[in-house]
Structure 1
Amino acid sequence: MQEDTIYEELGVPRVVNAAGTKTRIGGSLIRPEAVEAMSRAAESFVRLSDLQVRAGELISEVTGAEAGYVGSGAAACMTLAAAAAIAGDDLGTMARLPETEGIPNEIVMPRTHRNGYDHAFRAAGAKIVDVGNNDNYLGTGSNSTEPWEIADAITEDTVAVGYMEKAFSMPPLEEVVEIAHDHDVPVIVDAAAEVPPRENLSAFVDAGADVVVFSGGKAIRGPQTTGILAGKREYVRSAALQHLDMHVAESVWEPPTELFDKASLAGVPRQGIGRPLKVGKEELVGLIAALEAFVEEDQDELDAEWDARLDIVEEGLDGIPGVTTRREPGGKLMVAPEVHVEIDPGAAGTDAVELVGSLRTENPRIFVGSDDLSDGAFTINPMCLTDEEAAYVTERVRTALE
């Protein structure tokens, strides 16, 4: 494997990533085209609002949305979406966020869609209203959230309905959109990790979502600090007004008309809730290059590459006492297939927690998927591995068990 990375030079252990596109270990590897574009972007200056217009044109083209925008990650785009839903074009409300006393600020969400990332909504001043329950996990035959429960929760204080997109998310997005639109509120979809397939870039817009958020630093392989906001022009406009640097004299302020019309505003907005979430010129150019490359990528070829890499893993772990493996298809929590590795402590002499923990202390550190540790298992994901790294991870697991 590569041994002369920048991390060795800095005295920091690098990571062999068998966990997938996880932010805590660097997301994914930026595409070479994006790295080259970022390097060139660093050589000169540009008005960021002009560059956002160009990025927005590409996002609109590939998603089918009315408009697009780039934030500093998917969570940042969720904050911008919530801020847009709350403030609209009201400069006074923008200036007060996240203070929302006396201002409609509720985002209705099915309880089973709640997760740690919805803190991004609350950061903008939104209050999340839970609906539904967890009956489906109890086996009662009930749905976790019924459509009427979403409708019943929408009041004059509701600014949006939040929806976390996964293969198992219920109710169906189309039903949620119909209910929300019947009550004149938008639907914000968190689809951060839902590409590939490439078709998902437009699927949620086609289903009627008003704002959809994707990560730019996962499978798209743009800069890790980029996220995509695609949706109705009114929400992109509000997001831009609350995100761009507004330290400017009104007498010479001529913003791009593609983003917003200066004449329709009372003046220059204050620095908005999104100002700490800025995106640099290098990241913007890198995201543009990565997104262009992503939509041209041969997904069938990539699927075959992932499956061949998992063959290396399964063959390498075959025959180890106390180890059972199975191939899990993509489409649930991860877009790529994975090898699910179950450890029988009695036969293996160790358990999954001890094994996974020990791998992380090695140099280089090895990260495998840890979501199934409570069930005595872990996963190996091929998305961020080379074939050589897949063999290395397998050998280290085998060594630890033998």
Structure 2
Amino acid sequence: MGIFKELGLREIINASGKMTALGASAVEEQVGLALKEASQDYVDIDELMEYTGKVIAKVTGAEDGCPTCGASAGIAISTAAVIAGTKLSLIERIPDTEGLKNEVIVQKGHLVNFGASIGQMIRIGGGKVVEVGQANKVEKDHIEQAINDHTAALLYVKSHHTVQKGMQSITAMMEVAHKHGLPFIIDAAAEEDFQKYIKMGADIVIYSGGKALEGPTSGFICGKKELMEACRKQYKGVGRPMKIGKEGMAGLITALKLIENKSSKPEKQIERMTNLCNKLGKLQGLTCSIKQDEAGREIYRAQIHINEDITGISAEELLHKLEAGNPAIYLRHHYVNVGILSVDPRPLLEGQEDIIADKIIDILQGGNK
């Protein structure tokens, strides 16, 4: 019996992805052991933080790194770092940055809500958000012409939440930043490639430790050495209430050291989701197909389209019935308004796709009406 079941909480089947609302990832045994052992011992936190930074650097190919309690904290800390640097008098002013270079340029289609607001994370770090272009179209000139003497950095958000068309590319935006001698930050929270953006030339890259990495609740920043030193310094200021503890760093280090043996196993994902689709394909009014992640990651989900006129139940109603059960089944529901639900195979335990298919069949055949 798991700890949450012992507490009387419902069992969860997570088919929605590495979602913060469901606890992000279930860690491997070695990571769990590191969390346990770290919680029962003592360490110099500054030394541990510097060591963690070195591990981050080795894995990402960056000059240095900084651990955080999450990717959202990484946005706030990175923003504060490019504004205040390592100067304590400025660090202690954050988020009051009046008169400083504090403007952070973001494409309009990237100012999304990921569970909270990207813009708010920037403001927490003392940044003034400068959104450029339109929600479905940004020209390079929009970015170029927004730069002035108050610009602190340019931020690119790499996420399935953002608008995927009409935005300027990472390369185009980075060229503008470097042309003007400005730091280029990428929020790559859920990305699986931990070296790609450093190789491209980004100055700061932010990742979640609890998503693709499958580590504990944590995050990490990697990039230029002087900027990482500035990031760590923010723990004397705005970073203090979002600090990561010894357990989180120990678990993060362990997960990072295990990364070489990880694989997204796309063939296995496709096999499992094909089996799910074959079971669901027998139902009238329901079609199921395999779709790659909209942001281009090596994730292959089953996309289920519900024709309400035939099934007599909408995608939203089906979703609620699945979530109300015990076990509660959570599907990916970004397109529920157009009758589409998706199953993400990555967080599923062995055989759980069959439980999901059986429950959907039961509901649509009237067993849970």
- Range of TM-score over shorter length: over 0.9
Secondary structure of the structure 1 residue equivalent to 2:153 = strand
Secondary structure of the structure 2 residue equivalent to 1:273 = coil
Displacement of 1:17 after TM fit?
0.2
Which residue pairs with 2:221 in the alignment? 229
Which residue pairs with 1:241 in the alignment? 233
Which residue pairs with 1:157 in the alignment? 150
Which residue pairs with 1:358 in the alignment? 321
Displacement of 1:229 after TM fit?
0.2
Q: Note if 1:328 corresponds to 2:291.
A: yes
Structure 2 residue runs of 5 or longer lacking an equivalent are none
Q: Distance in 1 between matches of 2:14 and 2:224?
A: 36
Q: Distance in 2 between matches of 1:153 and 1:217?
A: 34
Which residue pairs with 2:90 in the alignment? 93
Displacement of 1:166 after TM fit?
4.3
Displacement of 1:331 after TM fit?
5.4
Which residue pairs with 1:378 in the alignment? 341
Does the CA contact (< 8 Å) of 1:309 and 1:387 recur in 2? no
Structure 1 residue runs of 5 or longer lacking an equivalent are 136-143, 244-270
RMSD of the alignment, in Å? 1.5
Secondary structure of the structure 1 residue equivalent to 2:149 = coil
- TM superposition outliers: structure 1 runs of 4+ over 6 Å: none
Deviation readout 1:263-304 (Å, 9 max, x if unpaired): xxxxxxxx41000111111110111111111222244xx222
Does the CA contact (< 8 Å) of 1:86 and 1:105 recur in 2? yes
Comparing 158-167 with 356-365, greater Cα deviation is found at 158-167
Comparing 89-98 with 155-164, greater Cα deviation is found at 89-98
Which residue pairs with 1:248 in the alignment? none
Deviation readout 1:310-343 (Å, 9 max, x if unpaired): 1231122121111011110135276411011111
Q: Note if 1:6 corresponds to 2:3.
A: yes
Secondary structure of the structure 1 residue equivalent to 2:302 = strand
Q: Note if 1:400 corresponds to 2:337.
A: no
1:25 aligned residue (22, 26, 30): 22
Question: Which amino acid is 1:286 matched to?
Answer: G
Query: TM-score by structure 2 length?
Result: 0.93
Percent identity of the aligned residues?
31
Show the 5 A alignment for 1:194-273: 194-195=191-192, 200-224=193-217, 226-243=218-235, 271-273=236-238
Deviation readout 1:16-63 (Å, 9 max, x if unpaired): 001010000110111211111122222311111111122111111121
Q: Note if 1:297 corresponds to 2:262.
A: yes
Question: Which amino acid is 1:236 matched to?
Answer: M
Displacement of 1:394 after TM fit?
1.0
Q: Distance in 1 between matches of 2:221 and 2:155?
A: 14
Q: How many residues align?
A: 357
Does the CA contact (< 8 Å) of 2:272 and 2:345 recur in 1? yes
Displacement of 1:308 after TM fit?
2.2
Does the CA contact (< 8 Å) of 1:194 and 1:335 recur in 2? no
Which residue pairs with 2:312 in the alignment? 349
2:37 aligned residue (35, 40, 45): 40
Displacement of 1:219 after TM fit?
1.8
Does the CA contact (< 8 Å) of 2:274 and 2:302 recur in 1? no
Which residue pairs with 2:300 in the alignment? 337
